[in-house]
Chains A and B, each alone.
Chain A
Amino acid sequence: MSAPGVLALADELGPRGRRRVRIATGVAGLLLLLLAWVAVRRLGDRGQLDWARWEPFTQWSVMKFLLLGMVNTLKAAAAAMGLALLLGSALALLRLSRTAPLRWFAAGFVEFFRGVPLLLLIFFTFFGLRKYDIDISPFRALVLALAIYNGAVLGEIFRAGIRSLDRGQTEAAYAMGLSYWQAMGLVVIPQAVRRMVPAIVSQLVTLLKDTSLGFIVTYDELLRRSRSTGQFFNNPLQTTVVVALMYIGVNYALSRLARWLEVRQRRRFGAGAIIVGGAEDLNTVGLVAASATDDLEPTVA
């Protein structure tokens, strides 16, 4: 077997080709080692590898401080995701509604909130509302902004999921005498939801990353705690690296989960991922579909 992904692009390598690949592997490996050595030297020269700068992370009190920050991050993400799922379902149903003004309203809502940066929404829900004496806590302001933004994105995902079903499903349901809501509830939505699960999980990764913007409105989450820890021990580089690893751990696990769900689904239902038209949001779209195709290649070939 040659490398995955290049299977079809080139012939199986002959002896000379294999030797070339071996040489290139050696050269690339050496270059990478050299690069790593330069980086370590540089860190060492500037005293960034000194034990004193890393030692705080062996103290339980420091790690506990950061881990509780992660808990706050997860709390905000969970609350926002719950609300966003509700809002997204409502928006999707409105957009598929048979009453035109409802469709227009939902379309306008989605277009507006997907076209505006999340940070601006957070400004709005925190500084904006406070200005008018609405005493909103940082947590609520952050969750509200995240829920509105992700609700708009999820609305699109849901709509695409429902649209991706074969029309025959709805037609068959109507032919059996089911009403609109019965057809939706018994036939369309249960099938659509299964297809949407991977996209929802990967949207959760985006949402979790975006909770870090909460530091601007003084919400006491992981990134804010990383800033204060870095300032306290005068080791911003080291703290950022440790915190980055924490984020990467959680998000990587979530995106593997999304990928696994996607692959399993394709095997089981033979159905494609939903590809949301336009891939407006960074994580939602193509990527889930793309990674799944790679993983599946061996079974297809």
Chain B
Amino acid sequence: MDVVLDNLDVFVRGMRTTVSLTMLSFGVALVIGIVVAAFRVSPIPPLRAVGALYVEMIQSSPLVLLFFLFYYGLTKVGIQYGEFTTAVIVLGGYTGAYVGEMVRSGINAVSTGQAEAARSLGLTFPQVMRVVVLPQALRTIVAPLGGLFIALIKNSSIAAVIAVSDLLYEIDQLSTATAQPIPIYLGAAAAYLLLTVPSGILIDQIDRRVAIRR
């Protein structure tokens, strides 16, 4: 285990990149997800089609493939960003497709009687959404969104394939340099658990606080 303790700074540096990568991508994913959900419930057919196409295509593609498409493919048409920015875009776009589905399912999970009751009270569409439907919808998706966040922490490791120096990339370099893969991998597992397990507990707490008891 000495090799882990001696190189703690490498682990910390990697974790820092992983955390900022995850946070930024999750922000991008939330924005994309809300737009996609809005597209998919909108009364305008072309927007609904674009939303559905985006979700189905992204959810059916391996994440690594999207990294390659963006990093090696789109440079050919002059679209080129740094590794970190590329990773934020790809991870955010990928997770955004899942967020969009969740927001939509959250809206659909609110019983139709709620919206009907709100309308019969004379609320307008924006009021129905803001006052009645969305507050209930968002509460029901706290736990699934939290699950996505944890999955994103783990998925961010795939950014290592385009040489983003996240935790996985750093420990890969370290294991090559020191030729002691097993202790380093175990250390990396501990580092990832240090990120995922507390996140899980925190999400559980939030979910419990906002959950609607029926």
Comparing B2-10, B46-54, B81-89, the segment that makes contact with chain A is B46-54
- The closest CB in chain A to the CB of B166 belongs to A117
Is there an interface contact between B45 and A237, defined as CB atoms closer than 8 Å?
no
Q: Decide yes or no whether A37 CB sits under 8 A from chain B.
A: no
A112: chain B residues within 8 A (beta carbon): 189, 193
From 158 to 207 in chain B, residues with beta carbon under 8 angstroms from any chain A beta carbon are 158, 160-161, 168, 172, 175, 179, 181-182, 185, 188-189, 192-193, 196-197, 200, 203-204
Is there an interface contact between A212 and B65, defined as CB atoms closer than 8 Å?
yes
Q: List 20 A-B contacts (CB under 8 A).
A: A6-B42, A9-B129, A28-B44, A116-B154, A124-B182, A124-B185, A131-B181, A211-B62, A212-B64, A216-B161, A223-B65, A237-B77, A247-B65, A248-B60, A277-B143, A278-B144, A280-B151, A280-B200, A283-B59, A294-B105
Closest 5 CB pairs of A and B: A290-B105, A279-B147, A251-B60, A8-B112, A212-B62
In Å, the complex CA distance between A279 and B112 comes to: 24
- The closest CB in chain B to the CB of A278 belongs to B147
Interface size on A, residues (CB 8 A): 76
- The closest CB in chain A to the CB of B132 belongs to A9
Q: Decide yes or no whether A150 CB sits under 8 A from chain B.
A: no
1/0 per position for B139-162, CB-CB distance to A under 8 A?
A: 001011011101100110110110
- The closest CB in chain B to the CB of A118 belongs to B154
Whole-angstrom distance from the CB of B156 to the nearest CB of chain A?
A: 8
A282: chain B residues within 8 A (beta carbon): 98, 148, 151, 155
Is there an interface contact between A132 and B62, defined as CB atoms closer than 8 Å?
no
Q: Decide yes or no whether A230 CB sits under 8 A from chain B.
A: yes
- The closest CB in chain A to the CB of B193 belongs to A115
In Å, the complex CA distance between A241 and B61 comes to: 11
Whole-angstrom distance from the CB of A9 to the nearest CB of chain B?
A: 5
Whole-angstrom distance from the CB of B212 to the nearest CB of chain A?
A: 15
Whole-angstrom distance from the CB of B154 to the nearest CB of chain A?
A: 4
Q: Decide yes or no whether B76 CB sits under 8 A from chain A.
A: yes
Comparing A42-50, A83-91, A164-172, the segment that makes contact with chain B is A42-50
Is there an interface contact between A131 and B182, defined as CB atoms closer than 8 Å?
yes
Is there an interface contact between B133 and A9, defined as CB atoms closer than 8 Å?
yes
- The closest CB in chain B to the CB of A214 belongs to B64
1/0 per position for A1-15, CB-CB distance to B under 8 A?
A: 011011111110100
Q: Decide yes or no whether A29 CB sits under 8 A from chain B.
A: yes
- The closest CB in chain B to the CB of A18 belongs to B43
Is there an interface contact between B72 and A8, defined as CB atoms closer than 8 Å?
no
Q: Decide yes or no whether B102 CB sits under 8 A from chain A.
A: yes
Whole-angstrom distance from the CB of A55 to the nearest CB of chain B?
A: 16
Q: Decide yes or no whether A243 CB sits under 8 A from chain B.
A: yes
Q: Decide yes or no whether A293 CB sits under 8 A from chain B.
A: yes
In Å, the complex CA distance between A290 and B11 comes to: 39
Given known pairs A3-B48, A240-B69, the reply for A248 and B61 (CB within 8 Å) is yes
A111: chain B residues within 8 A (beta carbon): 197
Given known pairs A119-B157, A282-B151, A285-B147, the reply for A6 and B189 (CB within 8 Å) is no
- The closest CB in chain A to the CB of B111 belongs to A8
| Residue in contact with B108 in the complex, picked from A24, A277, A280, A297, CB distance below 8 Å | A297
In Å, the complex CA distance between A138 and B144 comes to: 34
Q: Decide yes or no whether A54 CB sits under 8 A from chain B.
A: no
Given known pairs A3-B41, A212-B62, the reply for A132 and B56 (CB within 8 Å) is no
Task: Knowing that A123-B172, A212-B64, A255-B56 touch, tell me 4 more A-B residue pairs with CB under 8 angstroms.
Answer: A3-B42, A13-B43, A278-B204, A286-B101
In Å, the complex CA distance between A290 and B74 comes to: 33
Is there an interface contact between B151 and A281, defined as CB atoms closer than 8 Å?
yes
